[in-house]
Amino acid sequence: MHVSYKRCCKWVLVLGLLLGTLFHFWGPSSDLEEDLRPRRGSAIQALLSGKIYHIMSDYSEIPYKVKENVARELAQNTCICLAGEETFHLPFSDLLFHRVWAHNLQHAFLETRPDPDNVKNHRAEEYHHFQKRSYSPVDMLIIAEANNPLQYPTQGLEVQPLKTVIIPGLGLRQEDRGNYMVNLTATLGVFDIAATVDGVSVKGVGEKHISLSSLVQAALNRQLQFVTYTNTVFHPKTADSIQFETEGHQSFFTIKVGHRVVPKLYNSGQSEGYNITSLVTIATKTFLRYDKLKDLIDSIRQFYPTVTIVIADDNEHPQPVTGPHIEQYIMPFGKGWFAGRNLAVSQVSTKYVLWVDDDFIFTANTQLEKMVDILEKTTLDLVS
Ligand SMILES: *[C@@H]1O[C@H](CO)[C@@H](O)[C@H](O)[C@H]1NC(C)=O
Ligand SMILES: *[C@@H]1O[C@H](CO)[C@@H](O)[C@H](O)[C@H]1NC(C)=O
């Protein structure tokens, strides 16, 4: 095992968060074939946002009454915690009377830093990077305007498991007739309305099938702006297919069900250019070849004297490998490459990890800055 993997992974320098693809695309010019830059804010996006704004502001003259219980489900991140005031102080009063206390974690965190403004800016920058990296054009809300005559969102609608969202963009554009009616049917959740509009009859509130009708098309459309969907079947990373119909016409759209992505922000050293020491950890696994390992460490130190090196070691008679910024983890004898790699990676606390075999050598051409630059500027996860 230890010998056979060796040949097949020549210079597999893995820098990155998890997985990815290997691209040869470092170069001074910008006419690259693979353009992997994240894309936000294109002209199409601006056009779509403008359209959605108009769709949402239609019928704003028609009055409505808010349904408190549904509206409450929609409010997220809008509450503020305030500490209860201590009106009197008795011994053990905290045990006798429950007092609410609140602590602003953001302030508390920043207060402990020598340079809070710098930390704040830095976190904002990291968050921006994270958003660029995690963004996909499929997340963008698109509404199919009423050509068929149903109007509904075609993509970009997402609900957290067991939570509620307004379904934006529902509408009907039909020729004059006596009665206007639409139905919505879901499989993994139920419908409700966040507000009521006079002159619209709604059947099936709180159920998987809701039916809305009115003699006035504008009133029905106003009511459709307040239709909510609540996911009731816990199944993250799936989607509910919604059937939306009126007499003679049927359409389907999906609501994605999933948890929000929690942003990961890294401390990247706050210096001009890339601070390799705080961005990269070099990880390796060794067996039998301490002489080679020593050559590797010596070569790394010529170019990167302060980068942390993590060594997983499953030798039968381990020898201590010492030096500044070196961490050696002794494993049970012969645990193997995969276990060693997992152990080494588990000890990494920087944004990127560089995986090397113990017989690699750094030269003047081994420029981690170039690899980091690609990873920072694209959505790639791995560079070699
Ligand atoms: C809508 O649903 C109602 C009751 O569930 C049903 O009677 C009606 O036929 C449906 N309308 C359409 C257009 O499917
Ligand atoms: C790079 O980061 C390390 C550790 O975070 C820090 O000690 C060092 O001062 C930084 N170097 C520069 C040039 O900012």
Quote the ligand 2 centre to 274 CA distance (angstroms). 10
The string of pLDDT tens digits covering residues 35-85 is 555 556 677 777 778 877 888 788 888 888 888 888 888 877 666 666 666
The string of pLDDT tens digits covering residues 142-174 is 777 767 799 999 889 999 999 999 999 999 999
Q: Can you name the CATH fold of 137-257?
A: Immunoglobulin-like (2.60.40)
Q: What are the tokens at 168?
A: 């934006």
Q: Is the CB of 196 under 6 A from ligand 2?
A: no
| Ligand nearest to the Cα of 304, by number | 2
Mean pLDDT of 198-205: 95
Quote the ligand 2 centre to 296 CA distance (angstroms). 23
Q: Around 21, how many Cα atoms within 13 Å sit in the side-chain half-sphere?
A: 7
pTM surpassing 0.75? no
Q: DSSP letters along 62-125, please?
A: S--EE-HHHHHHH--S-----PPP-----TTHHHHS-------HHHHHHHTSS-HHHHHHHHHH
Radius of gyration for the chain, computed over Cα atoms and rounded to the nearest angstrom: 29
Closest CA to 17 of 264, 260, 337, 270: 264
Task: Give the mean pLDDT of the chain.
Answer: 83
Q: Which residue has the tokens 């070691």?
A: 313
Instruction: Give per-residue burial for 271-301: e unless 16+ CB within 10 Å, then b.
Output: eeebbbbbbbbbbbbbbebeeebebbbeebb
Where does 276-377 sit in CATH, by number? Answer: 3.90.550.10
Instruction: Kindly list the domain boundaries of the chain, sorted by start residue.
Output: 137-257, 276-377
Closest CA to 14 of 300, 352, 359, 362: 352
Quote the ligand 2 centre to 275 CA distance (angstroms). 6
- Residue 164's identity, in one-letter code, is T
Beta strand 308-313 with 238-246: parallel, antiparallel or unpaired? unpaired
- Residue 82's identity, in one-letter code, is L
The string of pLDDT tens digits covering residues 111-125 is 888 888 888 888 888
Q: CA-CA distance, 73 to 207, in Å (whole number)?
A: 16
Beta strand 150-155 with 200-203: parallel, antiparallel or unpaired? unpaired
Q: CA-CA distance, 226 to 347, in Å (whole number)?
A: 50
